[in-house]
Amino acid sequence: MAGTETCESKKRKHEEDNEDKAISVLQTFKLVKVLKEDTAKKFVAVEGRIPSESGTGDEDGNNKAVLLLEKKPFAVDSIEDLLNSGNTKLTFVNDCYSNYQLSSSKPLHDIKVSLINPATEKHIMKFMEQECFIIHETAEIHKTITLPVIEKQRLAVEWVYNILDKKAEVDKVVFEDPDPENGFMLVPDMKWNGTEIESLYLVVLVHKRSLKCIRDLDQSHLPLLKNILKQCPRIIFEKYGLPPCKLRMYCHYEPSYYHFHVHINNIKFDCPGREFLRAYSLSDIIDNIEMKNNYYQEKTLSILVAENSLLYKELKSAGHI
Ligand code: M7G
């Protein structure tokens, strides 16, 4: 018994040390440039440098890093607290209209910070404001241009394998179906804080590692897709009380990460990436494959290509742009 306790407390101490380390890393961040800013969404993505611990950084010993900062939504049930929580200055008044500047010390004004360290050029590109073009990707373009580019330059999916292997986010897993063919893990997306139902966002990661994206899907994957479509809404309703008719379930094409996954979010949530050019509804995917086995191998798919990407360069030199 005493041995178990010592083991537990050692584990806790180790976790606390890791947390302290992760927090102090954030404090060493030096800003290089703004990659993208969205004042309406109160979001900014910046590139910076962080001293490398492994000695793998640049000549100054720094890693490239990407930092994403986003103001969190208001907690409506604390509005009265907020109004009484700090310095209030009147900035405008006319008839029944008035504006105030309220500086609150309440956590209502917390900021969600995401750090990618070390960040690759691909990460930096992903968050950089860029000119984008629509390309109609035929099966032939996919085979001869897109696939070789993906092979050369895709973002690592270590974070996915860490979840599937239970090395990361272990305490966050909402549900697991362990079947290697038709099973999956359901976890909160890192974009979501896990509490506000208005912005509910989960991601389904399939166990089958050979599946990369919707282009790989055919009728042999229908049991997997139907399993996700059937189980996830039920689990989400049981855990979060949000009914199936309030859920958006879709895949991205092209995705950023080539391990097959499904996005699930609250239809109320105005989340990035739900726009028609990238989002393919899971139920439509199932229907299309049921009608035609090789639908996604043959279909021309519209994709958004960023000007600074290798894909853009290759498509341009092949005369597709
Ligand atoms: P995607 O369609 O490949 O690319 O989706 P996108 O990021 O352009 O949408 C990957 C999804 O996985 C996104 O919604 C990410 O927010 C989410 N995600 C990315 N990472 C690195 C993690 C992670 O480490 N943990 C979790 N839980 N979600 C992640």
Q: Which residues of the chain have pLDDT under 50?
A: none
For the record, the structure tokens of 308 come out as 């600074």
Q: What is the pLDDT of residue 212?
A: 96
- Considering only CA atoms, which residue is closest to atom 20 of ligand 1? 190
For the record, the structure tokens of 4 come out as 């178990």
Domain boundaries, the chain: 1-72+111-120, 80-109, 130-317
Contact 206, 224 (CB under 8 A): yes
- Considering only CA atoms, which residue is closest to atom 29 of ligand 1? 190
Q: How far is the CA of 159 from the centre of ligand 1 (A)?
A: 9
Cα separation, 272 vs 104, in Å, equals 28
Pocket of ligand 1 (CB under 6 A): 159, 169, 187, 189-191, 203, 252, 255-257, 263, 273
Q: What is the pLDDT of residue 3?
A: 59
Which atom from ligand 1 is nearest to the alpha carbon of 258? 3
Q: What is the pLDDT of residue 16?
A: 80
Q: What is the pLDDT of residue 106?
A: 65
ipTM: 0.98
Q: What is the pLDDT of residue 263?
A: 97
The owner of tokens 């359901």 is 186
As assigned by CATH, the class of the 130-317 domain is alpha beta
Q: How far is the CA of 68 from the centre of ligand 1 (A)?
A: 13
Contact 218, 297 (CB under 8 A): yes
Which CA distances in Å does 105 have to 76, 196, 274?
A: 16, 21, 34
Q: How far is the CA of 94 from the centre of ligand 1 (A)?
A: 47
Task: Give the per-residue SS3 of the chain.
Answer: CHHHHHHHHHHHHHHHHHHHHHHHHHCCCEEEEEEEEECCCCEEEEEEEEECCCCCCCCCCEEEEEEEEEECCCCHHHHHHHHCCEEEEEEEEECCEEEEEEEECCHHHCEEEEEECCCCHHHHHHHCCCCEEEEEECHHHHHHHHHHHHHHHCCCCHHHHHHHCCCCCHHHCCEEECCCCCCEEEEECCCCCCCCHHHCEEEEEECCCCCCCHHHCCHHHHHHHHHHHHHHHHHHHHHHCCCHHHEEEEEECCCCCCCCEEEEEECCCCCCCCCCCCEEEHHHHHHHHHHCCCHHHHCCEEEEEECCCHHHHHHHHCCCC
252 is catalytic: no
- Considering only CA atoms, which residue is closest to atom 4 of ligand 1? 256
Cα separation, 72 vs 304, in Å, equals 28
